[in-house]
Structure 1
Amino acid sequence: MKYILLGLVVLLVGYMLYDAGSEPGIDDLQGTYREVAIYRNENNTGPIVRIYAVTVSDTTHWDEMKQYGDLMLYTKYGTTRVYFFPEGKPVPATLSPVRPNFDSKYEPYCLAMYEKDAMSQVIFRKRPFRVVQ
């Protein structure tokens, strides 16, 4: 009886490890995504703000960019923001907490912006800095 119970525990732990390792992740996306700059506020007593600048190899897969944002770290009542830039074009090396979070000279190169706000609402904008005339 003791060996049967031990066998069940080993099987259960093995299944949990397999299940945890088979969750979809960033590596499962078709395009190549590379984090170039990251900002995280130092305030550990209030809302956590995470901002990323990411390069993208395939600039036409908007759904994948949104999926990438969905897979990024998020803290309840915090904010996660991801800016996507085409690979091989200028990308900000540093980010700041003040919007638009990087120097305006990079705005024309920004393909999309993903944001998950403090209420877990997701906003995904294509060409967020494009001026409509």
Structure 2
Amino acid sequence: MKRIFLIAIATITTIIFWISFSQDTVDDLPGDFKEMAFYRNENNTGPIIRKYVVSISDTLWQEMEQYGQMMPYTKYGTTTVFFFLQGSDMPKSINPDFPSFDVQYQSSCIGKFNRNATGLSSFTRYPILSQAY
């Protein structure tokens, strides 16, 4: 009986580790995503704000949204990812305030993923056209 119990515990532990370490990451997505700029406020007691500028090799809309979903998120915080095509003009740094980067780069932004303080996420194609900044 004790042997069966130990085998069951070992099997369950192995399955848990296998599932934990075999999950997809942003590196598994097609599109050659590269993080070009990152901002995180230093507030660890209140809402945490994360902003990213990411380059991608093509307009892979579904993969951009998946990338955004995989980025870190903190309850009551926000996570925003701005996507730019590789080789296009893009910001080297990002600001905590609006606008997140210089207006000269807005026309190069092809996508924006946002997860708000309530956990709701949205993805906008060509956000400058829809004024989603």
**Both proteins in one fold, TM over 0.5:** yes
- Residue aligning to 1:99: 98
| C-alpha deviation, 1:64, in angstroms | 1.1
- Residue aligning to 1:55: 55
- Equivalent AA in structure 1 for residue 38 of structure 2: I
Alpha-carbon distance change, 83 to 6 in structure 1, aligned in 2, over 3 angstroms: same
- Residue aligning to 2:114: 115
- Residue aligning to 1:30: 30
| C-alpha deviation, 1:131, in angstroms | 7.3
Question: Which whole-Å deviations, capped at 9, do the CAs of 1:41-78 have from their partners, x for residues lacking one?
Answer: 0011110000000000112x111111111111111110
- Residue aligning to 2:18: 18
- Count of aligned residue pairs for this structure pair: 131
CA distance in 2 between partners of 1:99 and 1:62 (Å): 24
Question: Which whole-Å deviations, capped at 9, do the CAs of 1:54-113 have from their partners, x for residues lacking one?
Answer: 000112x11111111111111111000000000111221111111121111111110011
Give 5+ residue unaligned stretches, structure 1: none
Give the stretch that moved more between structures: 21-30 or 88-97. 21-30
| C-alpha deviation, 1:3, in angstroms | 3.3
Normalised TM-score (structure 2): 0.91
| C-alpha deviation, 1:8, in angstroms | 2.0
- Equivalent AA in structure 1 for residue 6 of structure 2: L
- Identity over the aligned pairs, expressed in percent? 42
- Residue aligning to 2:124: 125
1:2 maps onto 2:34 in alignment: no
- Residue aligning to 1:68: 67
Alpha-carbon distance change, 39 to 125 in structure 1, aligned in 2, over 3 angstroms: same
Normalised TM-score (structure 1): 0.91
